[in-house]
Amino acid sequence: MKHLTRILTAVLLIFASGPVRAADTLPNPFFPFCIDWHDAKKRSFKEQADMLKELGYAGVGHIWLDKVAERLKTLDDAGLKLFQITMKVNIAPDKPAYEPQFKDVLALIKGRGVQFCLLISGMKPSDTAGDARAVEILREMSDLARESGAQLLLYPHVNDWVERIEDSVRVAEKVNRPNVGCMFNLCHWLRADKSRDYKPLLARAMPRLWAVSINGADERDEKPGWANYIQPLGRGSFDVCGMLKTLKELGYKGPIGLQCFGIRGDVKEHLAESMKTWRAYSARLAQEK
């Protein structure tokens, strides 16, 4: 099956190698995140922005709340967008809920349509006993973020309190604010959920599903680490194109992030590979009615 998947991907890449027309692409903005830490070239933000522009990405996701001003300047200079900022939230009663720097960053990104991806910890995964505290914190953050136009996304992350997309949906609905929604993360779903039936989960999340992350991945991997659950797009046995088709059928038009955490080597090489695959998937899905 792995060999067949790679052969089909190679064929698609051949057809995707020519000029890309708007009619042959999905409507979703496509951007990478977690590209900083494992890049063998250790590129600066400016070098990253120039590279992303060259490769055809719409922008990038930023990790944590520091150096946001520098990131914005380099993206503005390249004509690219800052799609997301990942940050931590802690619902433990004896811990600060979030960094005070959040307020300063909100001022920097005002009017830019940035999404904050919230990694929420502080209790056992999926423990509903934390719901009331989480709702209190998230409503406070929602009030702070309202004027900026930013969205707050509950980011399912394995071993965190919000570990599953079901947690994200449940809590976002309880918060019940127009700027608080959900994100689906393929690699964390693969790790946290033994089922591979994503369609009902995505359908249930749709009213508040405002971001999705994808990457190449194997269907199953019981080994620790992320080497097989996070690969360049097009590698691995999991049918990512099939999942994109489901999102299209559900009417999802939001941004799609490319998860790059842990992929080593020259980031430009695997980003180029993933972009070719994205264009191949886009062309294939654009032709399907």
- The domain that holds 161 is classified in CATH as 3.20.20.150
**Model confidence at 4, in pLDDT bands (50, 70, 90)?**
very low
Question: Residues 6 or more apart from 155 whose CB is under 8 A from it?
Answer: 86, 117, 118, 119, 120, 162, 168, 183, 185
Assess whether pLDDT exceeds 60 at residue 284.
yes
Residues 62-74: what's their mean pLDDT? 98
pLDDT tens per residue across span 137-183: 999 999 999 999 999 999 999 999 999 999 999 999 999 999 999 99
**DSSP class of residue 13?**
H
* Confidence (pLDDT) at 221: 87
Q: Output the six-digit token pair for 204.
A: 């249930």
**Percent of the chain whose pLDDT exceeds 70:** 91
Which secondary structure element, helix H or strand E, spans residue 36, and what is its range?
none
Q: What is the secondary structure of 134-150 as a DSSP string? A: HHHHHHHHHHHHHTTT-
Distance CA(126)–CA(192), nearest Å, equals 11
Q: What distance lies between CA 194 and its chain's CA centroid?
A: 21
**Model confidence at 289, in pLDDT bands (50, 70, 90)?**
low
Q: Domain range holding 257?
A: 2-18+26-287
* Confidence (pLDDT) at 178: 98
* Confidence (pLDDT) at 176: 98
212 closest CA partner among 177, 174, 245 = 245
**Model confidence at 24, in pLDDT bands (50, 70, 90)?**
low
Decide: 239 and 253 in contact? Cβ < 8 Å. Answer: no
**Model confidence at 1, in pLDDT bands (50, 70, 90)?**
very low
* Confidence (pLDDT) at 288: 83
Residues 11-38: what's their mean pLDDT? 68
Distance CA(180)–CA(212), nearest Å, equals 15
How many domains does one find in the chain? 1
* Confidence (pLDDT) at 11: 40
Assess whether pLDDT exceeds 70 at residue 35.
yes
Residues 119-142: what's their mean pLDDT? 98
* Confidence (pLDDT) at 15: 38
- Compute the 3-state secondary structure of the chain and give helix, strand, coil in percent, each to the nearest 5: 45, 15, 40
